[in-house]
Structure 1
Amino acid sequence: MATPHIAAEKGEIAPAVLMPGDPKRARRIAELLMPDARQVSDVRGIGAYTGTVDGKPLSVMASGMGMPSLGIYANELFRFYDVQRIIRVGTAGGLSPKVRVGDVVVALGAHTDSAMNTTRIPGIHFSAVASYPLVAAAVAAAGDSDRVHVAPVVSRDHFYGNPAEQIQKLADYGTLCVEMEAAGLYGVAAEHDREALAVLTISDHLLDSSQDMSAEDREHKFERALHLAVAAAHC
């Protein structure tokens, strides 16, 4: 049963889905994790791949950039393919001195400047938070690593032109990094009573650009985050 944006038949998507933003990264993750992976969808350049990891089914599918794009795919996966959990595996920009490039942030919650969640419950400021069992599984998989952090992030609608004065205030309130999808994912998961988590690799830093990853590095240096994401997917 294909949808307007996913060509897979029902049963071809696993109950757990890893969701990077980049279609190339989705293919690379599938090849890295699942020798038996097969492509089950390719609509608008967004491939979906299903296979097994340690005998357990898993799918990988890109979301594209931004909450509107992710919202389309997450809604269809939850509604039509009976997906139970989506784990975003993405990159983020550090905005606090508590993190450095290469660190991983398990996004406990996601502030946002987007209107995506404002109409969910009229009169209520919706809290976009991760699913605790997934957070716990990711943290357990991290062990005592000092390169993994559990904290709020901020999901932006705009990549460029964000107010510089907000960076320090966000950091003061414990926000470690900025990205563009987690708040939307957490909102869609709550709507469908499903589970979601974002595990983010710091690829650049707003306070110090000297160690920023190249575009090639962004596609390859996500092994630590991927390990945590798989642990959450199969907890």
Structure 2
Amino acid sequence: MALTPTPHNAAAKGQIAKMVLMPGDPLRAQFVAQTYLEDVDQFNSVRGMLGYTGTYQGARVSVMGSGMGMPSIGIYSYELFNFYDVDAIIRIGTAGGLAPDVQLRDLVMGMGACTDSNYAAQFHMPGTLAPLADFGLLRRAVEVAEQLGFDYKVGNVLSSDVFYNDDETVNERWARMGVLAVEMESVALYLNALRAKKRAVTLLTVSDLPLTGASLPAEERQTSFTQMMEVALGVATSDVR
């Protein structure tokens, strides 16, 4: 067991809740903390990766940025699961919609995560492992979304290592296989959770449509995706009571 703080996280043991919401953008973590949490304590600012713990409807919840890509969320989620005794991580991220019926601002829940990454190679599996969300967290996310009256879609997402892909046909091919949206983190999060025997689920808001070029501005991505945030907080609250 490594000592805390770590080189990437200034928190001491006990400063981080058992349930962590994890956006890619640290400014979205700050927005969640300032908008929804009470009695907030900032536990991290190392490398600009902001982390906060507070309460929401009486439940203790943390929120922390993960950065972009699987190497980044791989570090932070590994440390949270293995060094800080975190039980569950809910990724609250943005994604590019791929399926024909996925539009801007839609809420997508990642039941499974495809990938073009080699992240899983470290586990030396004798075949291809299919990384899945924790069913209990996913089911609760669906329940909360329905209680709040939010539309949602559940299915496969793609975690890609490449944002600017030289092969311009890849997104069309993933869409043909029913993949709802593309992002860059969920596979590493799901694999780390599986290996640590912990739980994870990804909730995404569609911020752009790669096949059409439609996109939302950066500021709106940081502060306006409140349906995703409220579903995640509802899951966190019910999970820790």
Is the shorter-chain TM-score for this pair beyond 0.5, marking a shared fold? yes
Q: Structure 1 residue 146: deviation in Å?
A: 6.8
Q: Distance in 2 between matches of 1:165 and 1:62?
A: 31
Q: Which residue of 2 aligns with 1:174?
A: 178
Indicate which of 191, 195, 198 corresponds to 2:195. 191
| Structure with the bigger percentage of helix | 2
Q: Structure 1 residue 207: deviation in Å?
A: 2.4
Unmatched tracts of structure 1, length 5 or more: none
Residues 150-185 of structure 1 deviation map (CA, whole Å, 9 limit, x = unaligned):
011000001101533222221122101000000110
Indicate which of 53, 66, 86 corresponds to 1:63. 66
Q: Which residue of 2 aligns with 1:203?
A: 207
Q: Structure 1 residue 41: deviation in Å?
A: 1.6
Given that residues 20 and 88 in structure 1 are in contact (C-alpha distance below 8 angstroms), is that contact kept between their aligned partners in structure 2?
yes
1:135 aligns with 2:141: no
The CA RMSD measured in Å over matched residues stands at 1.4
The within-5 A match list for 1:68-79 is 68-79=71-82
Q: Distance in 2 between matches of 1:19 and 1:191?
A: 18
The within-5 A match list for 1:89-104 is 89-104=92-107
Indicate which of 226, 229, 232 corresponds to 2:232. 229
- Provide the secondary structure at the position in 2 that maps to 1:37: strand
Letter of the 2:109 counterpart: V
Given that residues 106 and 152 in structure 2 are in contact (C-alpha distance below 8 angstroms), is that contact kept between their aligned partners in structure 1?
yes
Q: Structure 1 residue 72: deviation in Å?
A: 0.5
Q: Distance in 1 between matches of 2:160 and 2:58?
A: 37
Q: Distance in 1 between matches of 2:150 and 2:35?
A: 25
More moved, 38-47 vs 61-70: 38-47
Given that residues 97 and 207 in structure 1 are in contact (C-alpha distance below 8 angstroms), is that contact kept between their aligned partners in structure 2?
no
Indicate which of 30, 35, 45 corresponds to 1:32. 35
Given that residues 93 and 203 in structure 1 are in contact (C-alpha distance below 8 angstroms), is that contact kept between their aligned partners in structure 2?
yes
Q: Distance in 2 between matches of 1:195 and 1:101?
A: 28
Q: Which residue of 2 aligns with 1:87?
A: 90
Letter of the 1:52 counterpart: T
Give the TM-score normalised by the residue count of structure 1: 0.95
Unmatched tracts of structure 2, length 5 or more: none
Distance change in 2, residues 1:194/1:115 (3 Å): same
Indicate which of 154, 159, 162 corresponds to 1:158. 162
Given that residues 96 and 207 in structure 1 are in contact (C-alpha distance below 8 angstroms), is that contact kept between their aligned partners in structure 2?
no
Q: Structure 1 residue 217: deviation in Å?
A: 1.1
Give the TM-score normalised by the residue count of structure 2: 0.93
Q: Structure 1 residue 77: deviation in Å?
A: 0.6
- Provide the secondary structure at the position in 2 that maps to 1:87: strand
Given that residues 86 and 233 in structure 1 are in contact (C-alpha distance below 8 angstroms), is that contact kept between their aligned partners in structure 2?
no
More moved, 163-172 vs 89-98: 163-172
Letter of the 1:70 counterpart: I
Q: Which residue of 2 aligns with 1:22?
A: 25
Q: State the identity %.
A: 43
Letter of the 1:68 counterpart: P
Indicate which of 2, 5, 13 corresponds to 1:2. 5
Q: Distance in 1 between matches of 2:167 and 2:122?
A: 24
Aligned length: 234
Distance change in 2, residues 1:115/1:32 (3 Å): same
Q: Distance in 2 between matches of 1:78 and 1:119?
A: 17
